[in-house]
Structure 1
Amino acid sequence: MASNKNITILYVDDEDINLFLFKANFQSKFNIITSLSATKALEELENHHDEIIVVISDMRMPVMNGIEFIEKAKEKYNNIFYYILTGFDYNEEIENALKTNLIQKFFTKPFNVEEIEKAIFEAVKKLK
């Protein structure tokens, strides 16, 4: 697949290995910014909000979970497409986030590269 380096993705996860795997799978196609915590991710959004098109966040993280992080991020940056990537089951919190359009979709770990790519391209199409 061709490079789409003009598409910037922020991926948030509290485990280094997950950040590494995400970057390894997508960095040849997209511009990837990673963050090891929701707090750091908010800083990345502050610094790169004009570039970031998609934010994908882990659900279970210390301090604030993925939904809490996205609620906080979306208050300030509501023109970005937000997604949850979780190793756990679909739950009421994710269901409510989908119903209220807080998130566009949720993905499960281990992630499917094609499924995430498709969602990213769908988000980019909506911007045009």
Structure 2
Amino acid sequence: MMSSKPSILYVDDEHINLFLFGRLMDKYFKVITAISGPEGLQKLENNPEIKLVITDLRMPKMDGLEFVKKAKSHFGNIPYVILSGFEKSDEVKEAIDEGLVQEYIQKPYSSEVVANRIMECISN
């Protein structure tokens, strides 16, 4: 049977965050995870059913905004959300103003709140 849950991609450089997010969001979404920006780009390439991307901000190799810029140039028709433990920086505010990023969610987060915000982004 095909899953009717929307597919989302979550990119974070910490395995524990990927695991916890997957567990918390599993009842709402099919969660595809990536441990880095480059892997996230690969997952987008291989999974055209992805409806939304959530990324951590601070990651080695390629940070969240750099990943979003690269991803959006190839997969621009889906919303991008940043999920971070840091305050919203000017750089992030700018990314939201420019429409690069749809939403900014600060950790720690409530799974219901995040699920609702993802649903809103997907349906807009």
Query: What is the TM-score when the length of structure 1 is the normalising length?
Result: 0.90
Deviation for aligned residue 1:69? 0.2
The residue correspondences of 1:36-115 to structure 2 (distance < 5 A) are: 36-48=35-47, 50-115=48-113
- Contact 2:28/2:115 (<8 A) preserved: no
Which residue matches 1:20? 19
Bigger proportion of residues as strand: 1
> Is the partner of 1:64 in helix, strand or coil?
coil
Deviation for aligned residue 1:5? 3.9
Deviation for aligned residue 1:111? 1.8
Task: Tell me the percent identity.
Answer: 43
Aligned equivalents of 1:59 and 1:101: distance in 2?
A: 16
Deviation for aligned residue 1:28? 2.1
* RMSD (Å), alpha carbons: 1.2
* 1:99 partner amino acid: D
Q: 1:11 to 1:38 in 2, by over 3 A?
A: same
Which residue matches 2:116? 118
* 2:58 partner amino acid: R
> Is the partner of 1:14 in helix, strand or coil?
coil
Aligned equivalents of 1:28 and 1:112: distance in 2?
A: 14
Deviation for aligned residue 1:120? 1.7
Q: 1:90 to 1:124 in 2, by over 3 A?
A: closer
Which residue matches 1:32? 31
- Contact 2:5/2:28 (<8 A) preserved: no
Q: Gaps spanning 5+ residues in structure 2: where?
A: none
Number of corresponding residues = 122
- Contact 2:6/2:51 (<8 A) preserved: yes
Aligned equivalents of 1:19 and 1:5: distance in 2?
A: 22
Q: Gaps spanning 5+ residues in structure 1: where?
A: none
Moved over 3 A (4+): none
